[in-house]
Structure 1
Amino acid sequence: MSRRVRRKVARRGKEVVVLPSIPENEDEGLSLHRKEVVDWTRLPDDTVIQLFSCLNYRDRASLSSTCRTWRTLGISPCLWHSLDLRAHKCDSTAAALLASRCANLQKLRFRGAESADAIINLQARGLRGISGDYCRKITDATLSVIVARHEALESLQLGPDFCERISSDAIKAIAICCPKLRKLRLSGIREVDGDAINALAKHCRNLTDIGFIDCLNLDEMALGNVVSVRFLSVAGTTNMKWGLVSQHWSKLPNLTGLDVSRTDIIATAVSRLFSSSKSLKILCALNCQALEEDASFASNNYKGKLLLALFSDVFKGVASLFSDITMKERNVFSNWRKLNNKDKNLDEIVNWLEWILSHSLLRIAESNPQGLDNFWLSQGAALLLSLMQSSQEDVQERAATGLATFVVIDDENASIDGGRAEAVMRDGGIRLLLNLARSWREGLQSEAAKAIANLSVNANVAKAVAEEGGINILANLARSMNRLVAEEAAGGLWNLSVGKSFS
């Protein structure tokens, strides 16, 4: 979902609002040196490769066509370890042109059905991870061909928008074709039947992270057969039979983290899972109405178990995982990232927590249920800001989108919640967003610019953005060749200019 607000303006007599102008030529001071000849081919190779690494794949390919030296450097395997196709249209022709560079490609991000169809033309048989969004039109046939051509896949993620045309048949194909799969996260599938889940249990013996999110129907008994799973998310999934869940999932020998956010789970199911499962340490249940309305439910009766809910202190709960470390609870995520010697198991737990929290907070912000003002002001905004500093790019993007979304009250009338916007500002969110906007990653640029634009509808936030140098940053982004980045940056400049004119 892409929520954005733009301030509305009205004339004051003959006065009109003038948008900030952007100089077209910033190199006038260099005119005296234009006659000097610079031999760019004499730059150190590592410097050139560093420059290449800051470009999207299209600019990288264009730059490498300028001379033989840069062509050789431009196809260096280290530059094509990962590829993000989301910024530009990528059809089969474009993918075929990139194929010669993708022999060592490990990670791929794409957007939309057309890019999905083009993936096989990259001829990247060694791909380890695929992540896609805007997947509503992707079919079983397309997904089956993708996994059949990439048997080495270890991670497959499609979402957070719904994969409406993908069925259990495609999941069976995934299981058969990708025996090395370790992580599978799919959103919005209508039904995940027992045969598909049992195929995963049979063929994917290393599958430790499963997410069937916002699904309509899910076979709870079959999931109890995937004994390798450590982290399981069924957030937003409907028609769950919680009696079967507590009976079968509590027997999973390795289940460490379970995410049931935005479901109708009841207190007795939580109690049974905690009391029956020997391995379960963390249960995330954000925005679970039945659980929150049960006044008799006591969430602190399970020693060694952690329940994360809207009525609990999430920062304090996560901090309790670090029993040997003294740290401020609000800084728990940032302090964990700074640790030099991390416990591997704990590192996997916190990475998973970041992912599920960013996903659920964004979904909650999009639905904007009533009665959550206290949560957003007391810890929700701070959680999003903390997640924006994650080392996981998709977590950063979702957190920034969450900030852009949770402040919006009315899209049509460009109304935002002033208290929420200023809470972001008080917690240092403006500087964090501007730092993200400076990133060379276009996905982060776009989401950060969107958040800045929405927050800047508030006059106090707009002033803070201007004082932090946000106008120059947005002006630079408005020149981007990426249409999404340029549009969001232009929206931010518009909101800032209107705020200044009417302040």
Structure 2
Amino acid sequence: MREGGIRLLLNLARSWREGLQSEAAKAIANLSVNANVAKAVADEGGISILVNLARSVNRLVAEEAAGGLWNLSVGEDHKGAIAEAGGVKALVDLIFKWSRFSGGEGVLRIKCSTEVASVGGVHALVTLARTCKVEGVQEQAARALANLAAHGDSNSNNAVVGQEAGALEALVQLTRSQHDGVRQEAAGALWNLSFDDRNREAIAASGGVEALVALAHSCLNTSHGLQERAAGALWGLSVSEANSVAIGREGGVAPLIALARSDAEDVHETAAGALWNLAFNPGNALRIVEEGGVPALVHLCSSSVSKMARFMSALALAYMFDGRMDEIALVGTSTESTSKSVNLDGLRRTALKHIEAFVMTFSDPQAFAAAAASSAPAALAQVTESARIQEAGHLRCSGAEIGRFVAMLRNPSPTLKGCAAFALLQFTIPGGRHAVLHVRLLQSAGAPRVLRAAAAAAGAPIEAKIFARIVLRNLEQHQAGLCV
């Protein structure tokens, strides 16, 4: 806008006439999508004006003001100012005041998560999710709860939402809605909440496994957003092996394989994550084989534009063919009377071929040759840089998972050795979100000795040897950092 335009709109918003208030707030809300305009609104005192309008007894005025506050809160710049001006409490009050209308969606989109929780917003949102029958309100309540829990395992609100009486049960129930938007937001909230260990088990205890498997089955012809969140929620729950086994027994493998075949990157990436977790269990691994999951994972491993999807697909295939599934495959899954006939040897060859090809895509011949000829840190750093998958630093492995990769380093298959070393490289790069945890788990598993043996093995491929050396160097760097 031209100079003075924002000030003029804010002056109109101060008018005693509600029609002018509404139109001015609407214009400010629309213009505030632009970051420069949003800054101008904040600099001119617009936040306090919008907060006052959000307290209006006129619903239309309150809604437009809430929309303006939402647009201002989308970035990080103005959230603190909104909270300091009392905006969050005003918005939570609005939730109660206008909850019977579906028009309050701007209210519920606000993302000042810590402040919302501190003024009773969680209880307000859970009350809406449990008691309101208006689909628009249900959808926005679930979305707001998802936003509160959106910062993963570092967000205290994640635990707060999970501990609110009836919250998890309400969200599980909303995944059964006939309205796709409600189901999508509820699944998204459960996905975010599953980052907390206690929430994960409480969701399962509230019927979450059954509900989310049913959702995965029913969403195959719906929007990519719903599919992504259904797969993501199952991915989150399957971090627990008990939940992983339950998902397999409930029939969750088949729909996840179907979602892994999606052309949408976000969908097949989350499905690959869930299948990776499920494949850790030998019974689930066999189910994936029997349901035709190997071709789907092989396709992702070789063709997805998402490095993370390719990485997790390769790890799922490695779990499936590192030998632990073989004993179960001889008798079929323990709880089923029949086992589908599969050619395990042929599938194993195909899987290993594509795992090897995946790892080789991160192999720079010149960098590997330099690292093989020199022990200089710079040579290893160059290989690390070319091999690093940035997003893999957010993955968190359990002690059992780390132990399994260490065991793979001893596997007779050169391909599995290389895959294990490549995975451990990703999980231990200094600065990774969970690198310190992974280093501690590796030390506890006696990994340094195994890594040294892998790095020196005469018959091992050069990639496995160099990756093992890098993991050893990562361990040393972490140890040196602890000693400083």
TM-score bucket (shorter structure): 0.3 to 0.5
Structure 2 length-normalised TM? 0.41
Structure possessing the higher relative contact order (Cα contacts under 8 Å, 6 or more residues apart): 1
Flag the structure with higher strand content: 1
Larger Rg: 2
